[in-house]
Structure 1
Amino acid sequence: MTTSMTAYPSHYINGQWVKAQSSEILPVYDSSTEALMATVPAGTVSEAQAAVRAARAAFDGWAALPVETRAAFLDKVAAGIKARTEDLALAIAREVGMPLKMARAVQVGGPAWHWGNFAKVARQFEWEKKVGNSLVVREPIGVVGCITPWNFPLSQITLKIAPAMVAGCTVVLKPSEIAPVNAMILAEIIHEAGLPPGVFNLVNGLGPVVGEVLATHPEVDMLSFTGSTRAGKRVSELASQSVKRVALELGGKSASVILEDANLEAAVRGTVSACMLNSGQTCSAHTRMLVPASRYEEAKALAQAAIAKFSIGPSLDETSKLGPLVSAAQRDRVLDFIRTGIEEGADVIAGGAQAPAMEKGYFVQPTILGIKATDTLAQEEIFGPVLVIISYQDEEEAVAIANSTIYGLGGAVWSGTDEHAVKVARRIRTGQVDINGGPFNGQAPFGGYKQSGNGRENGVYGFEEFLEFKSLQFKPAAS
C-alpha cells in the first residue's frame, strides 16, 4: 500500500489527456496526516470551454447509438471500478477521511453497483409510448455539466455521469478540488473502456472558474450540482440566464423522530450511527434526535454509550470507526459550531470542542449536545460528527420541530409499529424517511424538499432527470 504523492498534470478532454495550460496547481492533502498526497491542475476558462465544445461535438453520434451499446460501456466501467477497488478506496480514505474498510464498501462498492444498475435501468426503460394520437418519446437532454462534492466523491460523480451518459447525454465533470484523485482514477477507467471521444470530459479547477463556465455556457443544456445550499443558489442564478435545466442536491438537517412507543435503545443507537457515518460529512445525516421530554435523560445515557463505541483514528487504520474531517477548514468550521452551541447553553452530553489526542489530522471528537429547537445548531448544517438532542412534549410538537428548518432531505421515524411511524412520516416535509431503521435503497429516489434542492437521484428516477419529452402528433385515421 503506497501513500506517496502523485502529481496529475492533465485534464481529460475529447478522449485524451491534455496537459494543463496553466502552471497553477491545486494541492490535495491526506486528511489523517496533513501530508500533501496529490496535486491537480487548476483549470482555466478556455479549458472548460474546450471540454464543452468536445461534448457538444460528440453528442449527436453518442445519442444515436443503440441503448444496448451505451449500456455495455457502463458495464465496462463498473467492471473497471471493481478491478481498481483498492486504488479508489485508498484515495478516498486519504482524501475524505472515511476509514478504509468502510470506504471499500460504501465509497467504492456503491458506485460500482450504480454503474451496473443504470445500465439495467436503460435497457428496461420504456422509451416510447402511444398516447391518443401522439407518440411520446424520450430523448437525451444534451450536454450536461456536472459539479460534484468531496464527501462521497465517487458516488456523487456516478449518480450524475452514469445515468446521463446511458441516457445519451455527453458530460463535462468538474470534481471537487478537495477530493479529485478518485475522479482522475475514474477517468482512467473510462478511457480504458473505450468510450467515443468527447462523451466524457473532466476539467479540474475551482467553482468560480470552471464551475461558472458550466453554469453559464449556452452549449450546456443541463447542470447537475451537489453541494451547499449557498453554492446551489449561485449555480441556479447563473444557469437561469440560459434557461438550463438545473438539478440540485443540497444541504440537510435531518430529524430522527423517536416516538413514545419506540424501542428507545435501538432508536438511539440507530440515530447515532446515521449521524456519524463519514464523520458526519453526509448531507442526509440524521443530525437532530427528537425524543419525548419524559425520556430525555434515558436517551442521553443511551447516546453516551453508543458514541463511546466510535473509536477515532487515521483512515488507514483498520480499527478506526471514525476518521478525520476532510480539511483544516472543515474541522475549524465544525469546532466553531460546537463552541456556539456551548455558548448558547447546550447540555454537553459527549465530546466537545477540545482537540482529540492525535498528533496530526483534521480530527474532531464525536459530540452530542442537548439543545432547544430554536438554537443555532438546530437550524444550521454542521457537516461534522455532531448530534443534537431536542426534547418535545407531544407528536404535534415533534412534527413541527422536524419541519422547522429550511431543509428537507432525509430523516427517520422510530415507533413500536411501522403503521404508527408511517403516519408521522407522512407529515414530515422531506425527501426520504427511514422507518424503524430501514436501510438505504439505491433504487428509490434521493433528493429533497425546500432548500435541500430540486430533482432526484438513484435508479429510474435519477435516469429520467437527463431525458426530455417529445410528442409526435399523428392525424387520426378517417372513420
Structure 2
Amino acid sequence: MRTINQNYIDGRFVPVQGTDLRPLFNPATEEQIATVHLSNAADVDAAVRAAVAAYAEISTMSNSKRVAMLHRLSDVVSRRSADLAEAMSEEYGAPAPFVEASASRAGQVFLDMAQTVEAYPWQRQIGSALVEMRPVGVAAAVTPWNSNLGFICSKLATAIAAGTSIVIKPSEMSAWQTQVLAEALDEAELPNGVYNIINGTGALAGDALTRHRDIAKITFTGSTATGRAILRAASETMKRVTLELGGKGAQIVLDDADLDAAAAQVLANGFINSGQACIAGTRILVPEHKLTTMQERLVAGLANWPVGPGNDPASRIGPMVSAKQWERVQSYIALGPQEGARILAGGEGRPDGLNSGWFVKPTLFGEVDNSMRIAREEIFGPVLCVLPYRGEDDAISIANDTDYGLQNYVIGTDPERCRRIASQLQSGRVVINGAKHEPHAPFGGFKQSGIGREYGSFGLEAFLEPRSVLG
C-alpha cells in the first residue's frame, strides 16, 4: 500500500511536517489504497515563502518565456496522460471515457492559456494614461476532488500566464492523483517556487492559506458553504477572490423538441461525471402536456446508463467518491418521498449486483415542486427531478427560482427561440442542444454559484491588476 508523505515545495519533493494521516480508498471496492500525510501550518508557511521568493522572477518574466513554460508543462503532462488516467480511475472510480477525457484535457489547458497570453493586450492607451496589466501577487488555489487533474492544471496555467507564483492545495481525497501529476509537472523544470503543491485538509491547510498575509489572491472551486467561509476570511486582508461554487442547473425541454433525442440529451447533461458535477442539469423542466410522455422516455433511457466500476467498459456511472458522499446522496433519495415526490426509477441502496463500492442507483423523481429541498439543494449524485411548466415564461421563472446560477440548458429545434430563452436565464453559462465546451469562453456563476470567471482572457484578468501610468 502506498504512503504519500511529501509535498512539492520550492522545486523539490519535501517531507510533510504535519503528523495527521488519512486513508485513501478505491471507491469501487471500498479497499484502502494509500495513506496520505496531511500538511500543517508550518507546511503552508514553507510553501508560501517559496512562492514569495519566486514571485520577483516570474512577475518580471517576458511573455515569451511564460508561454514557453506553458508549452513545457503541456508536454510533460501529456506524456504522462496514461499514468494520470490510471491514478484517477483507481482513486476516483469514474467511467473510462470521463477519465480518459480528463487526463487528455489536463495537458491541453496549458496550450489554451498560452494562446490567450499571446493575444492578450498587456498595455492599453486610455486618453493620456498608459494602462498596464500587472500580476496580482502570490496566489493560492484550493481545488476539489471531482476533477482533480483539470482543476490543478487550469489554475496553474492561469497563474503562470499572469506572471504569478502559486501554492496549490488539492483535495486530500485526491492525493494519489496529485502525486502522479506533481511528478509530471516536475519534469518541466520550472524555476523553483513558481508553483508549490501541498496535501492537507481544507479546515487546516486551506484555512491557513486563505488567511496568510502573503497571499494576495485566492482561487477556489468547491461548495458554496466553503466558498462563503473563504470569502469571509479573505476579506480580512482584502485578498482578490475567484469562487467557482455549486449549481442546480435547469434543463428546459421546449415543446418543439424531439422527445427521444431530448431524453437522451437530458440524461447526458444530468449524469455528467456520475452526477458529481456542479454543472449537472439536475432539474428537468418539461411542458405540462408532455410530462407523462417525457417521463416514460427518461425512465426507458436509464437502461443506457449502467452503473459499475470505471474499469468496466460498459459503465457510464461510477461510484460516489466516498462513503460520506454515498450517505449524503442516499439521504436525499430518502427525503424525496417524504417531501411528496414520487420515485419514477431508482431509489435507495446499491444497484442490483453491486454489493460493495459506493454505487448509487440513478434516480429519477416525478411530482416535484420547485420548493422541495431535492429541487433546491445540490445533491452531487445521479439524482434528477422532473418538473412541469406552463409556457415559456413559467419555464424561465422556475429555472431562475434558485439560489444558484452556474449552468443551464435549453433543448429545442428553433435556434433563435432557444437563444431568446437562454438570454433570460440567470446563469454564467447556457448550453443549447448539447453544444460543445468552448475553452476560451468565461466560466463561472451568477448568485451563489460564485464570484469571478475562469478560462480565457476573463480568467487571466482575475489574476491581474490594472495600473495607470500618467505622464
Task: Tell me which amino acid in the other structure corresponds to 1:102.
Answer: F
Matches within 5 A, 1:354-365: 354-356=349-351, 357-365=353-361
Task: Tell me which amino acid in the other structure corresponds to 2:415.
Answer: D
CA distance in 1, matches of 2:325, 2:224: 16
CA distance in 2, matches of 1:24, 1:373: 43
CA distance in 1, matches of 2:169, 2:71: 23
Match of 2:170 among 175, 190, 201: 175
Asked if 1:440 is matched to 2:437, the reply is: yes
Task: Tell me which amino acid in the other structure corresponds to 1:472.
Answer: V
Matches within 5 A, 1:246-395: 246-356=241-351, 357-370=353-366, 371-395=368-392
CA distance in 1, matches of 2:406, 2:126: 34
CA distance in 1, matches of 2:217, 2:131: 21
Matches within 5 A, 1:42-441: 42-105=38-101, 107-356=102-351, 357-370=353-366, 371-441=368-438
Which runs of no fewer than 5 residues in structure 2 stay unpaired? none
Asked if structure 2 preserves the Cα contact closer than 8 Å seen for 1:97 and 1:278, the reply is no
Q: Deviations over 1:144-190 (max 9, x none)?
A: 01000000111111221111112100000100011122222221122
Task: Tell me which amino acid in the other structure corresponds to 1:108.
Answer: A
CA distance in 2, matches of 1:250, 1:21: 30
Asked if structure 1 preserves the Cα contact closer than 8 Å seen for 2:274 and 2:316, the reply is no
Moved more, 232-241 or 57-66: 57-66
Asked if 1:41 is matched to 2:44, the reply is: no
- 1:437 is paired with a residue whose SS is coil
Q: CA RMSD in A?
A: 1.1
Q: Deviations over 1:203-242 (max 9, x none)?
A: 1111111111111111100000111000000000000000
Q: Deviations over 1:233-284 (max 9, x none)?
A: 0000000000000100000000001111222222221111111121100001
CA distance in 2, matches of 1:97, 1:349: 27
CA distance in 1, matches of 2:355, 2:333: 21
CA distance in 1, matches of 2:418, 2:97: 33
Instruction: For residue 394 of structure 1, report the CA deviation from its aligned partner.
Output: 1.6
Asked if structure 2 preserves the Cα contact closer than 8 Å seen for 1:11 and 1:41, the reply is no
- 1:179 is paired with a residue whose SS is helix
- 2:279 is paired with a residue whose SS is coil
- 2:393 is paired with a residue whose SS is helix
- 1:193 is paired with a residue whose SS is coil
- 1:117 is paired with a residue whose SS is helix
CA distance in 2, matches of 1:460, 1:6: 40
Q: Percent identity?
A: 39
Give the TM-score normalised by structure 2. 0.98
Over 3 Å off, 4+ runs: none
Instruction: For residue 416 of structure 1, report the CA deviation from its aligned partner.
Output: 2.2
Counterpart for residue 448 of structure 2: 451
CA distance in 1, matches of 2:90, 2:337: 31
Moved more, 441-450 or 24-33: 24-33
Matches within 5 A, 1:6-17: 6-17=2-13
CA distance in 1, matches of 2:211, 2:434: 42
Task: Tell me which amino acid in the other structure corresponds to 1:443.
Answer: H
- 2:155 is paired with a residue whose SS is helix
Instruction: For residue 415 of structure 1, report the CA deviation from its aligned partner.
Output: 2.0
Match of 1:468 among 453, 465, 468: 465
CA distance in 1, matches of 2:175, 2:95: 18
Asked if structure 2 preserves the Cα contact closer than 8 Å seen for 1:140 and 1:467, the reply is yes
Asked if structure 1 preserves the Cα contact closer than 8 Å seen for 2:87 and 2:180, the reply is no
CA distance in 2, matches of 1:59, 1:202: 16
Task: Tell me which amino acid in the other structure corresponds to 1:416.
Answer: T
Give the TM-score normalised by structure 1. 0.96
Task: Tell me which amino acid in the other structure corresponds to 1:287.
Answer: T
Instruction: For residue 328 of structure 1, report the CA deviation from its aligned partner.
Output: 0.6
Aligned length: 469
Which runs of no fewer than 5 residues in structure 1 stay unpaired? 475-479
CA distance in 2, matches of 1:333, 1:200: 34
Asked if structure 1 preserves the Cα contact closer than 8 Å seen for 2:252 and 2:285, the reply is yes
CA distance in 1, matches of 2:325, 2:293: 32
CA distance in 2, matches of 1:183, 1:71: 23
Q: Deviations over 1:273-325 (max 9, x none)?
A: 11112110000100000001100011111101221111111112222111111
Task: Tell me which amino acid in the other structure corresponds to 1:234.
Answer: A
Asked if structure 1 preserves the Cα contact closer than 8 Å seen for 2:18 and 2:43, the reply is no
- 1:64 is paired with a residue whose SS is coil
Instruction: For residue 135 of structure 1, report the CA deviation from its aligned partner.
Output: 0.7
Instruction: For residue 126 of structure 1, report the CA deviation from its aligned partner.
Output: 1.1
- 1:247 is paired with a residue whose SS is strand
Task: Tell me which amino acid in the other structure corresponds to 1:310.
Answer: W
Instruction: For residue 10 of structure 1, report the CA deviation from its aligned partner.
Output: 0.9
CA distance in 1, matches of 2:312, 2:79: 22
- 1:308 is paired with a residue whose SS is helix
Asked if structure 2 preserves the Cα contact closer than 8 Å seen for 1:75 and 1:119, the reply is yes
Asked if structure 1 preserves the Cα contact closer than 8 Å seen for 2:4 and 2:175, the reply is no
CA distance in 2, matches of 1:190, 1:63: 20
